[in-house]
């Protein structure tokens, strides 16, 4: 896992995804999230719907009530992914941070993100979990969706949407609701999501092909 994370080069990827960040602490958080997302996607890739739902609860409930989960973690009653969510520290190489290493990724986001941006981040992350649970059900039932259905589903389970929200966090602004939900902005998100998700799928396919 550590070797894979090093190969991911989240520091460079974060700098390329959020190139206008002036605050190195916010860049650190974004890079940490890339590492975290990589682990989360790998963890849930082959799970059934029940197991994926358990991970969803372990992540989303932490975002909703971090104080409760801090106590559960201290009592060693929490899922490992809950610990990672709440105690994700600055481990991304090539980025120097002056933040307290004990600060969690989520609490660092909450420190400067507006309540609305926090809610958008939480909601887009939950949409990802709903999508992977639906995908797990399809996998169990051996359902093969048509192209259009696949495109729509891929936009949700590619975990790209939370990264769009981090644009607001990283640059210290909040889009009005009228802008966030505007059809043009939605189209831009869909197109960017398709580009990232399909490119990732093509890369994964090429890796799988090398195994046979």
For residue range 63-110, list pLDDT tens digits in order.
Answer: 888 777 777 777 776 666 676 666 543 344 444 343 333 357 888 898
pLDDT of residue 89: 39
The domains of the chain are located at 1-209
Domain spanning 1-209: which CATH class is it, in words? mainly alpha
Helix intervals (H) in 101-182: 105-112, 115-141, 147-157, 161-171, 177-180
pLDDT of residue 162: 92
**Average pLDDT rounded to a whole number, residues 138-163:** 88
Report whether 21 contacts 93 (CB < 8 A).
Answer: no
Mean pLDDT of the chain: 80
pLDDT at 31: 86
């Amino acid at each position: 896992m550590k070797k894979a994370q090093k190969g991911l080069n989240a520091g460079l990827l974060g700098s390329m995804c959020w190139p206008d960040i002036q605050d190195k602490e916010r860049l650190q958080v974004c890079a940490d999230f890339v590492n975290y997302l990589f682990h989360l996607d790998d963890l849930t890739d082959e799970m059934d719907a029940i197991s994926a739902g358990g991970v969803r609860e372990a992540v989303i409930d932490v975002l909703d009530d971090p104080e409760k989960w801090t106590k559960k973690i201290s009592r060693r009653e929490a899922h490992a992914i809950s610990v990672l969510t709440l105690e994700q520290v600055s481990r991304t190489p090539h980025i120097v941070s002056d933040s307290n290493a004990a600060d969690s990724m989520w609490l660092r986001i909450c420190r400067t993100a507006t309540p609305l941006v926090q809610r958008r981040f939480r909601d887009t992350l939950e949409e990802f979990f709903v999508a992977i649970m639906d995908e797990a059900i399809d996998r169990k039932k051996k359902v093969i969706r048509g192209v259009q259905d696949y495109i729509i589903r891929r936009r949700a389970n590619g975990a790209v949407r939370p990264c769009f929200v981090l644009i607001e966090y990283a640059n210290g602004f909040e889009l009005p609701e009228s802008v966030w939900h505007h059809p043009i902005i939605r189209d831009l998100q869909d197109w960017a999501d398709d580009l990232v998700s399909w490119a990732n799928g093509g890369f994964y396919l090429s890796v799988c092909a090398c195994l046979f």
